[in-house]
Homo-oligomer: A and B are copies of this chain.
Amino acid sequence: METNPTVVSEADSAALVNRELAFAAVRDAFLCLSDGSGQLNPVVMAPGIGEGDTFSLKSGSAAAAGLLGFKCGAYFTGADALGLPRHSSNTLLLDPVSGRLQAIVGASEVNCYRTAAANAVAAEALARENSTTLTVVGAGHQAWYEINALEGRFALERINVVSRNASRGEALVARLDQELQGVAAQLLSAEEAIPMADLLVTVTTAREPLFSAELVQPGTHVSAMGADQAGKQELPVELLLRGSLFADLPAQSLRVGEFQHVADRMNEGSVEITLLGDVLAGKATGRGGREQITVFDSSGVALQDLFVARRILDAYLGQAGAGGQAG
Contact = CB atoms under 8 A, between A and B. Distances in A.
Interface of A: 1-2, 4-5, 7, 9-11, 39, 41-42, 44, 46-50, 53, 55, 57, 59-61, 63, 66, 68, 70, 72, 74-76, 78-79, 81-84, 86, 88, 90, 92, 94-101, 104, 106, 108
Contact of A41 (B46, B101, B108): B46
11 contacts: A2-B88, A4-B7, A44-B57, A48-B68, A53-B99, A72-B101, A76-B95, A78-B99, A84-B98, A88-B99, A90-B101
Q: How many copies does the complex hold?
A: 2
Contacts of A4: 7, 9
B61 A46 contact: yes
A2 B84 contact: yes
Contacts of A94: 48, 55, 72, 74
Nearest to A74: B99
Contact of A97 (B82, B83, B100): B82
Nearest to A75: B99
Given A2-B9, A101-B90, A59 B46 contact: yes
Given A47-B39, A72-B92, A78 B98 contact: yes
